[in-house]
Structure 1
């Protein structure tokens, strides 16, 4: 599956659908595209990971970079539709504390009353 990032706006949230494999080879693509989405000025960004087929440590580093940039600029980032393997990596590394994950995009958007 080819790497993809597609975005739309729903209420106060920017919904960013991430697809493909987020690994060492694709990390620069995802980092650039996701940081660009953070910079668009929405107060809340939901990363919809339903089409993400694989994520390794390089992909996890991308998510950390996105969270750091968002946090520094006052943007809230939440995750939606996270695969069990990635959910486990987030939990083991403690990142689930700063990158909350929700079962659906709707739940993620509604979590803080942003949708």
Structure 2
């Protein structure tokens, strides 16, 4: 259900910009109830998002794709990448860049 929600955002040209486990509500049966915290969301033409200090204005660094960390661009793929990191964390019980500094994450 979470994948379907992310797919719906993509179809609607909405970038959540801060997908992380705490923004995915799940009920006791393990079903996704809703995605929350659209405070950083952007709809429509993503080329209009201000590229200056984009990391500070876009989500939690560990869930952001490399191109955003390098301040290159923001697209709907940001949410797909963030969702993949959430899945990675669920399966491995750790983050892919666990223990690295922000600069090391960007470099890798």
Measured against the shorter chain, the TM-score band is under 0.3
Q: TM-score, normalised by structure 1?
A: 0.26
Query: In proportion to residue count, which structure has more strand?
Result: 1
Structure number, greater radius of gyration = 2
Q: TM-score, normalised by structure 2?
A: 0.27
